[in-house]
Every structure is written in structure tokens, then in C-alpha cells.
A and B are shown apart, each in its own frame.
Chain A
Amino acid sequence: MSLPPDYLAYAKRRYGMDHDRYAWSMLPRRKTVRWPGGKLVALLVVPALEWFPLDMKAKPFKPPGALVTAYPDLRHYTLRDYGNRVGIFRVMTALDRFGIRASAAVNAAVAARYPSLVKACVDRGWEVIAHGLDMDHLHVEGLPLAEERRLVEETLAILRRVGGQRIRGWLSPARSESFATLDLVAAAGIDYVCDWVNDDMPYAMQTASRVLHAMPLPNDIEDYTILIQNRHSEDEFTQQVCDQFDLLCREAASQGGRILALALHPWVIGQPYRIGALERALDHIMESGEVWAATAAEILDAFTAQE
């Protein structure tokens, strides 16, 4: 076995990134951002409403939360579905207490199967973010372009019909994209995507048709990452979310507005013994008086108005 002679050729060794999707930019050297009311931190809560089909193929990789056992994996199918039946309503109660409107990332399959759930979100003034068709339709390189375009259009058509909203945001299932995904969702009217975890603030991304924005949504402080992947306790979840907030608050005081974006999975955080961990974190965050709780589209609009 040996490496090809051109293994050390570096076609993209140049200033900036090794692709043309977005420009290289250093967070502390950017123009400062000011949120409505002069609040230091915009709070963005993104509960995911997911459907993992019982016959899922999980190709070419298993998305986080994928079913586990041989068919039929009733155990994990139903545990994930718990989030849509029970867990999400605990999350709603926790957010309602402070009048926080979430931006729910919804698989189109959830909207088609449980339209009353999407209605409950919309009735609260929540925003609906497109989260693909379901957790077994991954956007990956190798998927034929026409097929991926159909997937994007079908997803948006279902969510627009059921939710009655324009749908401006996109979160790919498992945050997985092909090289064409951003071009396709931009052409279909999407204004921002939440897949990229390289920044704490929005930034512009180039597509074939128009500019869209990356919206921060860290993978690190998701309930799934902390509680399921890292197996930390509920108290540690609260601590880490509060630490995230405190640091962003301190930084915002000198560097301009920041965003605390919190991705949640109701089948994880919505368990009776866990929901209190979210409530205690929200107590800390909201009692600070430094928070503008908003939807993703509201945050985007406030941001782009200052760009």
C-alpha cells in the first residue's frame, strides 16, 4: 500500500477557507450587534420533533437517536415517540412559564402524522423550522440531485400546509448535508440553516441562487449530547447550560449581543425526572434580566438589519 504521488498537493491552501460557502471571519473582530431592548443575550430554544420509522435503514450512517435493535425495535421506536406524545408538552409548560416562544425543528412526517401537535406549537406563537422529511431521510452526497430536490420540496410543502407558516429555517436530519443541500434549500425559500456549529453568531453563506445565513445551534449543549452521549447527570446539564449562558453574557457586555441557542429533544429532556433540569436552567437564565427570548427568524431579522 502506498499513497498516490499527489497526496501532498494542496489545491486549496490559500487565505480563508478551503471552500466558497462562507468567508473566514473571527468572532471578536466583527461589528458588535445590539438586540432589542439592549438585552445582552438572545435566547433561542429549538425542540426537535422527530420521527424514526420502525423500518429505518440508517444509511449511510446512523443519525443520533436512531433505532438500535433488530426489527421490530419497539423499544426505541416508542421511546422516541414519547417525545411527541408527552415530553413536548412538558417542554411547552416549562417555556410558557416565561412566555418563551420556541422554534421547533419538525420532521415533515411528524406534521403529517400528528397535525394537532404542530397546531399546538403554532398556536403558542412558535416558529416551525423544517427538519427534513423524517430521521431516515438523510441529506448526503450520493443522493441524486433530483431526489434531494424532491425531498426538500416535499418536506417544505407538508410543513407549510400543516403549520400555515412560510418556513424560513432549515435543520437537516442529523445536521447532515450533501454538497448541494444549501443550494436546494435556498432555492426553495429558506433564509437560514442550523446545521453548522462553527460560530456563536449568524453569518452569511453563499448558494447558487442567493445568500442565506447560518444560525448558531451548538451540538455540545444539546440535552442529547450531555445526558445521553456523555451520560452526565441532570444537575450537570443545568450547570453546563447556565455556564454557557453566564459566559455569553459576560462576553456580550464587551463584545456585543450573543445568542444562547438550546437544542432539545423532548424524548430526552421531557422525561419526568429530567424536565426540572431545564426549568432550573431557565430560572437562572430568565432571572438575569439580560435576555431577549425570540424565535430564530426574529433573531435573524434583528441581526441582518444591522449587517
Chain B
Amino acid sequence: MKRDPGLYDYLPYDRRPKIRWRGGAHVAFWLAPNIEFYELDPPLNPTRSAWPRPAPDVLGYSYRDYGNRVGFWRMLETFERCGVRGSVSLNVAVCQHHPEVIEACAARGWEFYSHGTYNTRYLFEMSEAQERELIQDSIDTVRQHTGQKLDGWLAPALTYTERTLDLIAEMGLTYCCDLFHDDQPGPVKTKNGRLASIPYSLEMNDAIAFSINGLSPRAYGDIIKRQFDRLYAEGAESGTVMCIPLHPYLVGQPYRIAAFEEALAYITRHDKVWLATGREIAQHFLAHDYAAFAAAGETAGEAP
């Protein structure tokens, strides 16, 4: 095991090249709805049980199922009213289980990136061959069902091996959302290819806000606005990224969606905001900033 992931250089916030977003925007803002399928009785991964209760965990399973049956459709209307697209963090098996959800996103020009096959199949302890098979499955399924080239990766249920980011870069993906070390994109050091880390934010994630931190819907709207205000102000100096990761089964609950919409509308009312997708942010960063950022980093990872 490594003591340092060795995935990025140390590049302090006050000493790095300036990012200039399109149209002089201060913030590249993107929404990352996690469209997921959790299996009722998945195979066991020895590192992690899929459910807190023995299968069938009716409460856990049905709570997540609410997202596809109900919550997604409410969230979709909210996005439309605010004029924003989603970048879908997709368990690609949803293409088979619920193609109507995929069609609704595709029809609105949303991006699809991979969040693994199911949220109940974990990368921990996978062989390299299994991991390659899983990534190829995502590339093929997204291409086949949406016509899109797969560019982004958020590991299913945030499970990894040491080789995950090397493999996705080698297999042609261009960005990952798995690193939480920054508010700007950054280069990821991989064996092959060029991979950008795009800020995704666990702090703004509705699953963390609601299910871990127990925030009320209005308190969630409030932290979204505070996060945005600060990144907007700092972005006048050098462009920042704000992501709101969402789960339709959470934000799409009746008592939550209106408070979220109010916060989202607050953001979209600002003029120096670039309403982007994950892919567009990655493309911009790779084309304009990646090289300068890579050159500016100091070698990190020399643990005492």
C-alpha cells in the first residue's frame, strides 16, 4: 500500500496560473445528478456490504428506487425552469433498466458520464481484468444508448483500486470526479493519457448534506448560496468551479425540491456564471490550463 496516492502535485491556491473561463465567467457551475440503480440482492464484496440490513433491505432499496420512479421527474422540471443541463453520474445499467430516464436526459442535451454499472458493485479488490471489463462496459453502454463518447468518471459508490485512474485515462476518458482536494480543476498524474480532476464536492452533495449531516431543506439551500457567493467572488481573480452533486431520491422529495430550486435560481440569476457540463469544463481546462498547471506543481508525496 502507498502512503501518498501520488496522483497530483502540490499546487497551493495562492501560487498557480490564472484560469479564464468563457465569457469572463467567474464560476464554471455544473450539476451532477447521480442516476443510480441499487440492486435488491447484489453479490457480496468482502470489503463492504451493500445494505445496512440483511437483504431484502426494503427501506434502503425502496428509498433509492424513489429517485427513478418519482424524484428524477421533479428534479428534471426544476432544471428546466432554471435553464440548466445536468451531467449525469450514471450507473450505466440504468440504460437497460430505465431507458425512459436516459431518453429524458438525452433529449435535453445532458451529458452522461460513468458512475460504474450498479451502485452495488464495488471496485475494491477487483482484478485488473475485472476493472478493465467494468470500464469498457461503461464506454460501450453509454455509446450504444446515448451516442456519446464517455469522458468522465466517478467511481461507483466511491470505491477504487490503486490503478483505477490510470486505467480510465488509458482507456480514453478525460476527467474524473473522485478527488476532493481543490476548487479548481487540476492535472492527474496517470501512467498514460491526460486526465483532469474536475471539482465535484462532497460538501455540496445532497447525500452528505441530508443523509449524513442531517440538514433541513432550507439549510441545504443556504449552504449552496454561501458556497456560490464565495466561489463567485474568488472567481473574479481566477476561475473557480462549483458542482452540486444530487441524488433524485433525496432532492426530489416533495418537502425538499422547492428550497433547492430557490437556491438554484439564485445561482442562475448571476451573469458571471458559466452553466457548463463536466465535459465542457474538462475540455476547457485541458485545452487552456492543463499544461501550465502541470508545469507549476511542486513534487509532492515525499512522506517522512
Contact = CB atoms under 8 A, between A and B. Distances in A.
Contacts of B59: 174-176, 195, 197, 219
Q: Which of B74, B253, B254, B256 has the most CB of A within 10 A?
A: B254
Contacts of B37: 18
Interface in A161-191: 172, 174-179
A197 B218 contact: no
A60 B49 CA distance: 14
Contacts, number: 144
A31 interface: no
B234 interface: no
Contacts of B53: 60-61, 140, 176
A127 B294 CA distance: 68
Interface residues of B, number: 54
A115 interface: no
Given A13-B93, A179-B56, A240 B255 contact: yes
Majority SS of interface residues in chain A? loop
B58 A15 contact: no
B96 A14 contact: yes
A199 B97 contact: no
A306 interface: no
Contact of A231 (B117, B127, B130, B214): B214
Contacts of B74: 251
B62 interface: yes
A9 B64 CA distance: 22
Contacts of B61: 198
A139 to B, nearest CB: 9
Nearest to B38: A18
A177 B121 contact: no
A246 interface: yes
A239 B218 CA distance: 10
A1 interface: yes
B158 to A, nearest CB: 17
Given A3-B130, A14-B97, A141-B54, 9 more contacts: A2-B127, A3-B127, A4-B43, A13-B97, A60-B53, A200-B70, A200-B254, A230-B216, A244-B254
Interface of A: 1-4, 6-10, 12-19, 24-29, 60-61, 140-142, 172, 174-179, 195-200, 218-221, 229-232, 236, 239-241, 243-244, 246-248, 251
25 contacts: A3-B126, A7-B43, A8-B117, A8-B133, A13-B96, A14-B97, A24-B68, A26-B68, A28-B73, A141-B54, A175-B59, A176-B59, A195-B62, A198-B61, A198-B65, A199-B69, A199-B70, A200-B254, A219-B59, A219-B63, A229-B214, A232-B214, A240-B255, A241-B255, A246-B258
